[in-house]
Amino acid sequence: MKKAIMIIFALFIVVQFIRPTRQNAKVVENLQLKAKPEVMKVLKTSCYDCHSDQTVWPWYSQIAPFSWTIASHVEDGRASLNFSKWESYDENKKKKELKSIYKKVYAAMPLSSYTWIHKDAKLTKEQIKMIRDWTGVRR
């Protein structure tokens, strides 16, 4: 029993050396999304940690195995949609993303593993409606 605990502890220490990159690229002012303040406030609170270059990396993002999951969410999130690079997108990409935001704010985004810890990131009905109105998507 004691040996098993020692082995688990040793493994925990060893995996700490597998460190993903946690970086924020420099934000270029002209490329950032600019929306009205109410919209920006919601996006910054609920989306920017994964969909911008202004990620706030919490202390537990330094600790494996959480660090791996968090870094990969941020990497995938940025790769698909980065609000810090919004103005570098062409009209088609913007339109596609707005449509996708319209759909995803309803249930899929922010990720539930994120709102589980970041309670304030969970969107209220009013916030969902406001973001949906902002996307300009009609159906």
Binding-site size for ligand HEC (CB under 6 A) equals: 20
The half-sphere exposure of 2 on its side-chain side, counting CA atoms within 13 A, is 0
> Under the criterion CB under 6 A, does residue 81 sit at the interface with ligand HEC?
yes
53 near ligand HEC (CB under 6 A): no
CA dihedral 37, 74, 111, 89 (to 10 degrees): 50
Asked if residue 77 binds ligand HEC (CB under 6 A), the reply is yes
Assess 85 for contact with ligand HEC (CB under 6 A): no
Q: What does the block give as tokens for 56?
A: 């706030």
Q: Give CA–CA dist 65/82, Å, rounded.
A: 25
76 binding ligand HEC? (CB under 6 A): yes
Binding marks (x or -) toward ligand HEC, 88..107, rule CB under 6 A? Answer: ---------x--xx--xx--
Give me the phi and psi of 32, to 5 degrees please: -70, 150
b/e map of 97-111 (b: 16 or more CB within 10 Å)? beebbbeebeeebbe
Using rule CB under 6 A, residue 6 touches ligand HEC:
no
Interface ranges with ligand HEC (CB under 6 A):
46-47, 49-51, 73, 76-77, 80-81, 97, 100-101, 104-105, 109-111, 114, 123
